[in-house]
Structure 1
Amino acid sequence: MKRLLLFLLFFSFAFSASGNAVDSLKTDNDVLKFVLKVDSNLTYKGESQVTIVPTDTLLKLIKCNDVARQWSVKAWQKVDFNRDGRTDLLVTLKWYNVFHVFVVIDKGDNLFKALDLTRGWLTGENCQLAWPIKVADKQMLAFYSRTYIYEGKVRDGEWKWRTELKTDTLVYLYDDFIEYNPKVKNYAIRSISINSRPTAWPGPEYTANIQADGKAAYSAFKFKSESGYFTGKISTNKLAELKSLLDYIQVKKLKDDYQAQWTDDQAVDYEIVFEDGTVKKINDYGTIGTFGLRRLYSFLLDLRQSEYWEPMRIPKSIPRVELPHVNKLH
């Protein structure tokens, strides 16, 4: 028994002293096993749903290989994205017949967070890829996307398409990648509301309203197994982070409408009321608007788990609980 305990203690020490788990990765197979361990969503009934192809094969198969070659894209690469001294992982995974961009962030204490940066459905000639870059001596990520958007049929029944090319500069902030913004705004925000509703596919169906003093109301119609009406108080730290995120993504300058070129996806409506009385409404069908909006969506969704909510009895005919306007978000 003593030998076993000594062995376990030695093993634990050796593992903790071996450094960052990403640093030890040497082969494509090492990387694949590591990613599958971090993100269980990439397996089904114990079988991997993704593969990693060697870099030379990737450059042949990826649809936008002209850009991939220009950027010298690799199948995977070790990078410290959040500048904390721990090595993170950028990897391109082959998921069925398309490639997805993943980043694994080392959170410390042997905890890792997997982020799928790929936006929307990738089919046919659509392509997305990423490459680490430095901007103002800060580590960032260049993200390229080429999307063929169907615009309907024209004369003689031929399909009409247009090509949309876009390159974003992303920075790791607010626990995710969002568009880099060197000129942050300072909005006086009175309240923010969100209405999330799925279509044919299962998804969270809920509304939430957060006021400047942290008072909040939450209505769950189809949120996992939960339903009902709740009130709560958002913590000071979370409220400050929400305000900072809205400032950084320049929410007032975002487009009013984002539409995915497919059906049966999540539809999300935002309404931000500013202290000057103006209102910003954003409809994001498919949650593909911007990287910043996607982070806002997940941030608001996570509040249901991070904050304390008190159930309340409200007639089912009331679609959403509105709270009176209060002080500014500081």
Structure 2
Amino acid sequence: MKYLLLFLIFSSFIVSALANGIDNLKTDNDVLKFMLKTDTNFSYKGEPQITVVPTDTLFKLLKCNDVARQWSIKSWEKTDFNQDGKTDLLVMLKMSVGFYVYAVIDKGDNTFKMLPMNQGHTGDNCEMAKPIMINKQQLLLFYSKMLRMHRDKDELTVDTGPRIDTLILKHGNFVEYNPKPDNYQISYFTIEAKGCYGDCPVYKLQVSADGKATYEAYAYNEVEGNFKGAVSVDKLNRIKSLINYIQIRKLRDDYRVAWTDDVKAILKVGFKNGTVKEITDYGMIGTHGLSQLYNLIDELRTSEKWVKVK
């Protein structure tokens, strides 16, 4: 009996040592403290700017509470988004203007990556998420009700209905799930950020299939001027892989948000067969996959070595 008791105590210690900060969360207040500790931006002068409300209260406050009840939305849930054996967290945070959806990914060594999921201005919209399993893969069902627009043959169309996306954690963020990625041979890709009324970076960056790149930094960049460089193989392959995963040929040529004073991006992807896919995206949230593609290309401005061209 003595040895059994010692074994149980030792086993409990091992489990506790292996558990991450998310495993230990039991209450709404636990989750609130964890979020405040993980991201200090959730506090201002020592005062929390977020709350984690009970699920019953969440149902009462959400504008789309009918869908929330149908989906059995919870204020927070534990899951394993990348199926690496570590516990991740999905949480609805209440702020002054509404609810925001966050996924918190365990990176190991008790460090976490915070992924904001909202795409619109929450005060006027409703966005929420629910973990689901499909074909033994952990996915995320994402509901978004917000005004979206697109232009087709010079005619502007307003999309007022909700959008439901099935997402997967891939290439560092959530993108639309695609069980059969494409295998296009890509010859180059270019992004041109047109800026906004504020201090948004204005630039053009083009990368060829072999990684050779040019970077034209016009305004509000860390450095300005014309540069050339080479993108590392791993980053280049990651971007090419994402382009193929998001089925870029099937996406619209034009996306735009319903508000003003935002960034307009022009994305071009050239293929070995001579064709080009061009997407204009005002607001840069046409799809989850496009948003992540913009992020990966944008990161090249500071992650790679650039040589100024005289």
Considering the TM-score relative to the shorter chain, is it more than 0.5? Answer: yes
Q: Distance in 2 between matches of 1:230 and 1:189?
A: 22
Q: Shift of the alpha carbon at 1:120?
A: 1.9
Map of 1:174 onto structure 2: 171
Q: Would the aligned equivalents of 1:88 and 1:103 in 2 still touch at CA under 8 Å? A: yes
SS at match of 2:161: strand
1:37 equivalent to 2:37? Answer: yes
CA displacement, residues 80-127 of structure 1 (integer Å, 9 cap, x when unaligned): 000000000100011213111100111112221111110121223x21
Q: Distance in 1 between matches of 2:220 and 2:281?
A: 19
Map of 2:246 onto structure 1: 249
Query: How many residues end up aligned between the 2 structures?
Result: 291
Unmatched tracts of structure 2, length 5 or more: 1-12, 150-157
Read off the aligned partner of 1:142 and give its amino acid letter: L
Q: Shift of the alpha carbon at 1:226?
A: 2.5
Q: Shift of the alpha carbon at 1:59?
A: 0.8
SS at match of 1:63: coil
Q: Would the aligned equivalents of 2:266 and 2:281 in 1 still touch at CA under 8 Å? A: yes
Q: Distance in 2 between matches of 1:278 and 1:122?
A: 38
Q: Distance in 2 between matches of 1:104 and 1:283?
A: 30
1:27 equivalent to 2:38? Answer: no
Map of 1:259 onto structure 2: 256
1:298 equivalent to 2:300? Answer: no
SS at match of 2:191: strand
Map of 1:137 onto structure 2: 136
Map of 2:5 onto structure 1: none
Read off the aligned partner of 1:279 and give its amino acid letter: V
Q: Would the aligned equivalents of 1:235 and 1:307 in 2 still touch at CA under 8 Å? A: yes
TM-score, with structure 2 as normaliser: 0.88
Q: Shift of the alpha carbon at 1:224?
A: 4.6
Instruction: Tell me the percent identity.
Output: 51
Q: Would the aligned equivalents of 1:188 and 1:274 in 2 still touch at CA under 8 Å? A: yes
Read off the aligned partner of 1:85 and give its amino acid letter: G
Map of 2:49 onto structure 1: 49
Q: Distance in 2 between matches of 1:202 and 1:48?
A: 28
Q: How does 1:110-259 map to 2 (within 5 A)?
A: 110-124=110-124, 126-148=125-147, 163-259=160-256
Q: Distance in 2 between matches of 1:248 and 1:212?
A: 17
Q: Distance in 2 between matches of 1:47 and 1:265?
A: 30
With over 3 angstroms needed to count, the CA separation of the structure-2 counterparts of 1:186 and 1:149, relative to structure 1, is: closer
Q: Distance in 1 between matches of 2:25 and 2:219?
A: 41
SS at match of 2:224: strand
Q: Distance in 1 between matches of 2:74 and 2:60?
A: 12
Map of 1:69 onto structure 2: 69
Read off the aligned partner of 1:143 and give its amino acid letter: F
Map of 2:4 onto structure 1: none
Q: Distance in 2 between matches of 1:109 and 1:310?
A: 37
Q: Would the aligned equivalents of 1:198 and 1:264 in 2 still touch at CA under 8 Å? A: no
TM-score, with structure 1 as normaliser: 0.83
Q: Would the aligned equivalents of 2:147 and 2:257 in 1 still touch at CA under 8 Å? A: no
Map of 2:153 onto structure 1: none
Read off the aligned partner of 2:189 and give its amino acid letter: I
Q: Distance in 1 between matches of 2:221 and 2:27?
A: 38
The worse-fitting range, judged by mean Cα deviation, of 218-227 and 18-27 is 218-227
Read off the aligned partner of 1:107 and give its amino acid letter: K
Q: Shift of the alpha carbon at 1:149?
A: 6.1
CA displacement, residues 36-91 of structure 1 (integer Å, 9 cap, x when unaligned): 23233333344332221111100111011111111111100111000000000100
With over 3 angstroms needed to count, the CA separation of the structure-2 counterparts of 1:45 and 1:266, relative to structure 1, is: farther
Read off the aligned partner of 1:248 and give its amino acid letter: Y
Q: Would the aligned equivalents of 1:120 and 1:286 in 2 still touch at CA under 8 Å? A: no
SS at match of 1:57: helix
The worse-fitting range, judged by mean Cα deviation, of 175-184 and 22-31 is 22-31
Over the aligned positions, Cα root-mean-square deviation in angstroms equals 2.2
